[in-house]
């Protein structure tokens, strides 16, 4: 696991008692159902991880950026404020 991945997982897992692997998180950040289930780890990824690190993680994990931006946009609407990656 890279330092980048470890940093992201520590940010999104620890505060919410989650135990997502990097692959699980990568799938969730591009999955619209994460918004429907209000997945706190996914919201933390979009709101608490720096945008440059978000993009680096997505590149490392080969996440479809357009899909992740759409999910971020939905979380942004739900939260009532702009998230950096929101489309």
| DSSP code for 81 | S
Which of 87, 2, 83, 3 lies closest to 43 in space, CA to CA? 83
The predicted structure's pLDDT at residue 56: 97
Give the pLDDT confidence score for residue 18 in this predicted structure. 85
The pTM for the full model equals 0.93
Provide the pLDDT for residue 9: 95
Q: According to the model, what pLDDT value does residue 82 have? A: 94
* Tens digit of pLDDT at every position of the chain (87 positions): 789 999 999 999 988 788 999 999 999 999 999 999 999 999 999 999 999 999 999 999 999 999 999 999 999 999 999 999 996
């Amino acid at each position: 696991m890279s330092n980048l991945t470890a940093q992201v997982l520590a940010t999104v897992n620890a505060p919410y008692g989650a135990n997502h692997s990097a692959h699980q998180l990568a799938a969730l950040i591009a999955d619209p159902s994460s918004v429907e289930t209000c997945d706190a780890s996914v919201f933390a990824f979009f709101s608490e991880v720096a945008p440059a690190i978000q993009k680096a993680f997505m590149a490392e994990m080969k996440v479809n950026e357009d899909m992740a931006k759409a999910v971020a946009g939905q979380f942004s609407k739900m939260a009532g404020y702009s998230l950096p990656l929101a489309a």
